[in-house]
Amino acid sequence: MANGSIYQLIEDCEATNKALYKFYAAVMIVIFILALPLNVSVLHLFIFKMKFWKSNTNNIFLFNLVLADILLLFCLPIKAHNFIKGERRSGNDAVCKAMLFMLFLNRGASIAFLTVTSIDRYFNVVHPGRKNLLKALKKSPHISIFIWLLLLPLTIPTMLKNFDCCNSHKSDENKEDTLIKDVVDSLREVVFFTQIIIPFIILVYCTVHIVNRLRKKTVGDKTKLRRAVFLVTSVMVVFSLCFLPCTISRVVLLVARVQEWQESYQDKAAVAFDGLMVLSYMDCLLDPLVYCFCSTKFKALYISNYFPCFNKDGPISLDSSSGNTSHPKRSNVI
């Protein structure tokens, strides 16, 4: 294929390696099939069994995290359909913008609530007696509503075709138009990187301090301490696995565009970015596994409701006001 043809395919948002994009589509379909029932079942548990709005724990944040992941999952079949057709985005302008809005809003919300939950855990472990605004507001839905509203204006700059097709900072003969477009492109890239880099720095800070605090703690159940260390470490691993690779590939892609690398290299950078963006959707599958199932109480409640045949202690009830689980059979024995 000639270089000019490759360049034209990049500009037209068409896949240059259709077989590879079909593989990307297959990965998204697998993520959708595995993650949707898992997230829906967790959401059902939060609403109908745990009554998260009455809980004194951080279940409000976790509920919003799962909700953001579910909304993001609904975008994957459409994205997979486009990839199967050899298109990197929908040819319909309205569908394209709606997809970008949904993808970036819910992806941003997922990262935001993951970060806020880690900050809440940081204060509970490192500064348990200190009063803080987050501790006061976490029982109220207002902070969750505020996070969703804050993400709306940050999502609008991404609702453009050339972002989805990785065509930021492309050369243009009209210098005036190029200057305006460069400002818009730069703003859009700042939003993209800010949604990942700032939460990552916060997560690193919280994780390091939580691990140090738990290691210095000599009093208490060592099993619980090890579980807490495993939890915060797992969050860092999940975040690093899902979001850092696509961030790095985006940097490489921008360098390729600005320095006007050969079209074949630009194409490889764009294909790699698309693939690593698909990897970032794994977050929808890993979030409930890390945050919900690392809790022995939540795991026991989940198994009791959905897999009672594996539950040796009988049905488990949960006091919505305290967030505590109870085992009726054990109570009768006592």
Spatial separation of the C-alpha atoms in residues 181 and 168, rounded to whole Å: 9
pLDDT in tens, 91-144: 777 787 788 888 888 888 888 888 888 888 888 788 777 666 666 565 667 788
DSSP lists the bridge partners of residue 324 as 319
The encoded tokens of residue 234 equal 């797992």
Residue 329: its pLDDT value, please?
46
Q: How many CB atoms lie within 10 A of CB 99?
A: 19
Spatial separation of the C-alpha atoms in residues 221 and 224, rounded to whole Å: 5
How many residues appear in the chain?
Answer: 334
Residue 1: its pLDDT value, please?
46
CB 313 within 8 A of CB 300: yes
Q: Which residues of the chain have pLDDT under 70?
A: 1-12, 55-57, 130-140, 157-182, 218-222, 312-334
DSSP lists the bridge partners of residue 38 as none
Q: Coil, helix or strand for 90? A: coil
To which H or E segment does residue 317 belong?
A: strand 317-319
The contacts of residue 231 (CB under 8 Å, 6+ apart) are 121, 290, 291, 294
For the chain, which residues make up each domain, given as ranges? 16-294
The encoded tokens of residue 152 equal 């709306």
- Estimate to the nearest angstrom the gap between the alpha carbon of 54 and the chain centroid: 25
Report the chain's mean pLDDT, rounded to a whole number.
78
The letter for the amino acid at 95 is V
Residue 37: its pLDDT value, please?
95
The matching CATH number, chosen from 3.50.50.60, 1.20.1070.10, 1.10.3720.10, 1.20.120.80, for 16-294 is 1.20.1070.10
pLDDT in tens, 150-182: 888 877 766 665 555 655 555 554 444 566 666
Q: Coil, helix or strand for 216? A: helix
Spatial separation of the C-alpha atoms in residues 161 and 97, rounded to whole Å: 7
Go through 186-198 and write b for each residue having 16 or more CB atoms within 10 A of its CB, e for each that does not. Answer: eebbebbeebbee
